[in-house]
Structure 1
């Protein structure tokens, strides 16, 4: 072996960067390798950067709330210098429309259980505070070539949940860079444009990786946080043989649409969660909206087998479907002819919950299925992964010892993120 590390992290997205920071701050010898030429250049860069607290279960809500506290003190958390260029958390609030599918009821119950504040808005309150939105009931979502899509609704949505502490980070890549810069200051070694050819095992234990350029890197533990490339890397050594939860690679499109005249998204914008039309939108710099699907309709998802081969252009079909649906909610919206947006590949579990766990291969750990949902929790997830890795390397089952978030002192059960869990019924992306 030409090089060695105590803990090797494969993937320099926002999750890999957060794990590197937590482990390096705890005194571990950490090396991060990334196949791309920049930090956060993969799935992180195609994220909408939503920072929200609502979710289908209490633990996800609590972790999101703990993370919001970090985003509110981003410079302090990073111990950043006065001249460091930092990602900015913009608080715009989230409005979660009651589409009649039960999601808002579950979200409200979960936020109450986690003692996370929210407001229940009536139809009249929504219309008064956001007069540019049409709150008629258009759903359930149907294809735009269905006659039902164009019919005029006769009912209104009954209300919504509102969380004023929510918002977004307009540059998710920069957030990952900030985390990795802090990890470097703590002693982590980061190597970009470094591709893994294969994981190397000896006697059922991972001992490092072979790189595409022929070099080898040894490690006492390896964390795979490679987004859509994680599954193939793990399968190549049989590390997913006992997984009870399936993951898939979903091609995700976010469209960029200018706001209509008279609307200033910096002042009037809100993160809109619209299960009635299968939409999820937020304000965007330049007085525009950015967003796409809620991810609730499997028939509108494009699953990709090869993460290196997918169309990175905004498709005409998705552009038309998404913008026309948004135009139903924002009647004055003009739809530009030029298609603009962001296309990426999301690594997601069938129940939209992440996997933070060890594998059946000794010393091999995973942070999988985080795309599209876990950008918001990433500052806390790094510490959670440190708990998982340290517990297992010390010979303890990490699921038997609760993870205590250092930012809040709140305890979490890591079984929820286990590779051995049964898929959670009714879990939504949110």
Structure 2
């Protein structure tokens, strides 16, 4: 089939979420001809839009913490990074700090070791430090996390948590979708092209090499490299052609609910808010504007996770069970919280690996690359991940194994091993969502 010049590109990216947009920007800035597709009608309309937008630097391992720290410097200089003029509406990074409670389950120690190894600044706070900074929290030990139907959940606590870790540089982006739009607009200024409402129905091959895709309207697109960054739809797209045959890591689609809960009257979260990682109650939350909390699950209880097989079929309404569970847990930590009657929140579908690390790699087919298992954990690193994916694609197209050479961050010149993000890695048992 004859393919017109307008349907040819060097790198074809499937997915216009925050990761796909970041990769498009990095590749286009490096002089590559880039075309981005998305099945939705808007940029960042998938799992990016359902992200909590938390920008944190703590992690389970030093490399992930360092990558987040590099990305933080970009979020702090967002307009300059994008090359956007003063007229462009940009996503705003709000610095509120993160407090990781030491619940005795080992995660705080692990995060401290990771940040120390990465050279990331943090403070160790005592119970008195935490109470002094955030007097509206009750720092009693309520855990381990229990169902709200368990009588033990309502028992009066007798012990206090011993302290926590505080990272003053952390915060959040209140409009993750706008961040993806910003990245895509910057990519377009650098020469990238974009097609929305474009559904990939098949991959096209020459031998064992992927050379393009065919869309639902019959249009055929040709490319030297195809990067699939389609969030929860990635696994279905590539599994159908056997591209996951050598994967040692499993990915899952997790239905995620973020609950919007008004703050107690008189509490100004713009001044007194913090991102709290509360493994004691299996919740984490951040300020939402200045008058509410955005509350999600830590994912520590398997019985509270909902796995979805078909990414196009899931309940997109806040459930009564999740609403009750998270608001009641939040009320234990914040005694003055009132339980609102109206359920409000955001429901999305997250794509996550069994060890919560992303996959940035080629596949068993030449020319086919993936950025997957990023939902819920990698929004914060997206600006640097685009450069990492550029490195992976360029290295492999030049006939070299990207896992044998370090990727160097353009922000700090830190060296990163991309083997940690390989599809061939053994699942890491020491990882957590954080």
3-state DSSP of counterpart to 2:257? strand
Deviation at 1:262, TM superposition (A): 2.0
User: What pairs up with 1:188-337 in 2 under 5 angstroms?
Assistant: 188-337=192-341
Indicate the residue corresponding to 1:354 in structure 2: 358
Asked if 1:50 is matched to 2:54, the reply is yes
Q: Which residue of 2 aligns with 1:184?
A: 188
Task: Quote the Cα distance in structure 1 between the aligned partners of 2:398 and 2:23.
Answer: 18
Structural mapping, 1:11-410, within 5 Å: 11-410=15-414
Distance 2:395 2:75 in 1: 27
Cα drift, residue 295 of structure 1 = 1.2
- Show structure 1 runs of 4+ deviating over 3 A: none
C-alpha distance in 2 between matches for 1:90 and 1:173: 15
Paired with 2:288 and 2:229, the residues of 1 have a C-alpha distance of 28
Instruction: Give me the whole-angstrom Cα distance separating, in 1, the residues matched to 2:295 and 2:153.
Output: 20
The TM-score, its normalising length taken from structure 2, stands at: 0.98
2: CA distance, partners of 1:353 / 1:335: 35
2:126 and 2:292 map into 1 onto residues whose CA distance is 26
Distance (Å, rounded) in 1 between the aligned partners of 2:311 and 2:206: 28
Give the TM-score normalised by structure 1.
0.99
Q: CA RMSD in A?
A: 0.6
CA distance in 1, matches of 2:192, 2:214: 20
- Which structure 2 segments of 5+ residues have no match? none
Decide which of 410, 418, 421 is 2:425's aligned counterpart.
Answer: 421
**1:349-369 deviation line (CA, Å, top 9, x unaligned):** 000000000000110000000
Post-superposition CA distance 1:295-346 (Å, at most 9, x none): 1111110000000000000000000000000000000000111000000000
* Structure 1: tracts of 5 or more residues without a match: none
Deviation string, structure 1 residues 26-52 (Cα, Å, up to 9, x no partner) = 000000000000000000000000000
| Cα shift at 1:285 | 1.3
Instruction: Give 3-state SS (helix, strand or coil) of 1:108's partner.
Output: helix
Instruction: Measure, in 1, the Cα distance between the counterparts of 2:174 and 2:295.
Output: 12
Counterpart CA distance in 2 for 1:18 and 1:182 is 9
Cα distance in 1 for residues equivalent to 2:183 and 2:420: 25
2:268 touches 2:290 (CA, 8 Å); kept in 1? no
| Whole-Å separation in 1 of the counterparts to 2:365 and 2:302 | 32
Query: Number of residue pairs matched?
Result: 430
Q: Describe the superposition over 1:177-213 as per-residue Cα deviations: whole angstroms up to 9, x where unpaired.
A: 0000000000000111111111112201101001011
C-alpha displacement of 1:286: 4.7
**SS of equivalent to 1:377:** helix
